[in-house]
Each structure stands twice: as structure tokens, then as C-alpha cells.
Amino acid sequence: MTQLRERWRYSLFRQHYVRFCKNKAAVVAGVFLVLLYIAMLIAPHLAPYDPLEIHLLHKLEAPSATFLLGTDDLGRDVLSRLMVGAQISLTVGFIAAGLSLIVGVCMGLMAGYFGSPIDPLIMGLVDILMSIPALLLILAIVTIVPPSIFNIMLVLGLTMWAQYARVLRGTILSLKEQDFVEGARAIGASHLRIMFRYLLPNALAPIIVTATLSVAGAILLESGLSFLGYGVQPPQASWGAIIGMGRRFLRQAPHMATSAGLAIFFTVLAFNLVGDGLRDALDPRQKNR
């Protein structure tokens, strides 16, 4: 029985993998993200210069053979700062999305499984969170807490969970009336076992897609906060902070803001393309396509 189950899981994974590979844009985006992640891990060794090293004689230089993406107002190498800044931007994105995933999954499971009176309370909170622009809500919170990477990840994670809860609740409402759930109740399974052993594994597809897209959203929000001065503080580098510094020198040195802006653009685009590919691959309606 165990072998049959393992074969079924392998066959199902293979079907999803084949359907994902048919989406060429998603595959290219996935390869790009893998290479970006590898570059992020080895950025301190791969960067041509120390990102904090100042070269006052070379400040605001255009891209050249010495400084491939030019220098900033203190003569620091923009390429090195982009590479090290990727560590902060991507780490904040992943951890914030992971924290919001945990909170959103727990909230969505409770709302969908238990129903009233828990469901109206949780969904009322979800409606409130989703009715307030995320950046304005986060700005209101970060004006209270000291700006730091840890606080930014915590604030982002605790304000981005509403989408997970809404998506998962709808899926759980349809799943909890299925025969396998009734069978689990009949054998005396606890509520926690039913939610996490039977319901959650069957609702992974929308969660995976939402998680992929929320990483992109977290990167954008972190970049926006750093751009406004409420995120990563100098001399640390993040993509948003580089754009914020570069806006003061758009006429003299447009390469500063442009390079960081393109890094954010291509990274967020790649996450969105991978999310679209996963959505199509995990959609059972795509089985015969």
C-alpha cells in the first residue's frame, strides 16, 4: 500500500513537472531565480569591491571597465552594492513571505474548518487588512518601531497574511464536506489531525502559488520602505535604498537608480512568471492540455 502511494505521488509530481516545463517563460524565470539565489549566497566573494569601500576620486562615475555599473556619490561600486543588497532584499522577501504563510495558513484553516463564530471574526480582520493599502499600513507601523531588518521582516510578515487566509478558507470550505474528511471524523481523528493531515495537503496548490507571488510583493514593499528611508539604514545596501540615494543624482548619474530599479523589475517579474507557471501546472483542469 505504501509503495502504491509513493508511486502515485511520484506520478502526480511528474505530471506537474511536465506541465510546468511546457511554460517556457516560467522555466526561464525559474532558472534566473536559481542563479540569482546562488549569486546572493556567494555575493561577498563574487563582488568585485567591498560594498562599503569609498573611492572619493571616482564618485558618480559612469559605468566603465573599472566599475562595471559605475559608482555612487561616495565612490562606492554600484555593482558590489547591488550584489550585497540582493542578500537583504531577497532575505526580507523570503522570511516575510514565510511568516505571513504560517499566520495565513493557520487563520485560513480555522476560518474554513470551524465556521461560525470564528469564521466571521477572522474574515472581518482579513477584510480590514485588505481594505487598507499595504504600504500605508506598514508605514504607520514602522514609524512606531525602530527601523531594522528584523523589524521590517516582522512587520511585513504580520501584515501580508490576509491573502493566504482568504484563499485557503475558500478551499477548505469545499474540502471539508468531502467523504475522506467524514471518514477521518468517523475513526475519531482530532480537529488538528483533520486540518493538518487531511485538509492542508489537499489545499497546497493555491498556497504555493500565493507564496510565490507574496515573495515578489514583500520585495516590492521592502524596497518601497527603504526608498522612503524607513527600511534598511545606511551604510547597509538594499535595492530600495540604492534607488532612494540615486534619485538625488538622476541627472548626473542615472546609472545608480536605473541599475537597482532593473534588478527589482526583473526579480519581481521572474517571481510572477514562476507563480503563473505553478498555477497552470497545479491546476487539475490543465491535465489534458
User: pLDDT of 214-231, one tens digit each?
Assistant: 899 889 888 888 888 887
Read off the pLDDT band of 7 (50, 70, 90).
Answer: low
CATH number assigned to the domain comprising residue 123: 1.10.3720.10
- pLDDT tens figures, 88-145: 888 888 899 899 999 999 999 999 888 888 899 999 999 988 888 888 888 888 778 8
pLDDT surpasses 50 at 289: no
Question: Which pLDDT does position 224 carry in this prediction?
Answer: 87
Give bridge partners of residue 71 from the DSSP assignment.
77
Task: Let me know if residue 136 belongs to a domain.
Answer: yes
* φ/ψ of residue 288, rounded to 5: -100, 10
Structural domains counted in the chain = 1
Cα three-residue angle 51-53-59, rounded to 5 degrees: 100
**Using CA atoms, how far apart are residues 197 and 216, in angstroms rounded to an integer?**
29
Task: Let me know if residue 196 belongs to a domain.
Answer: yes
**Using CA atoms, how far apart are residues 17 and 26, in angstroms rounded to an integer?**
12
* φ/ψ of residue 64, rounded to 5: -150, 180
pLDDT surpasses 70 at 213: yes
Q: Which of 27-31, 120-124, 179-183, 253-257 has the lowest mean pLDDT?
A: 179-183
Residue 140's domain comprises 66-271
Read off the pLDDT band of 251 (50, 70, 90).
Answer: confident
Task: Let me know if residue 45 belongs to a domain.
Answer: no
Contact 256, 242 (CB under 8 A): yes
Task: Let me know if residue 18 belongs to a domain.
Answer: no
Q: Percent of the chain scored above 90 by pLDDT?
A: 19
pLDDT surpasses 50 at 171: yes
3-state secondary structure of 77: strand
DSSP type of residue 63: S
**Using CA atoms, how far apart are residues 16 and 278, in angstroms rounded to an integer?**
8
* φ/ψ of residue 107, rounded to 5: -65, -45
**Using CA atoms, how far apart are residues 126 and 42, in angstroms rounded to an integer?**
39
pLDDT surpasses 80 at 234: no
Task: Let me know if residue 180 belongs to a domain.
Answer: yes
- pLDDT tens figures, 258-277: 999 999 999 999 999 998 88
Question: Which pLDDT does position 285 carry in this prediction?
Answer: 52
pTM here is 0.84
Task: Let me know if residue 84 belongs to a domain.
Answer: yes
Largest CA distance in the chain: 77
Task: Let me know if residue 214 belongs to a domain.
Answer: yes
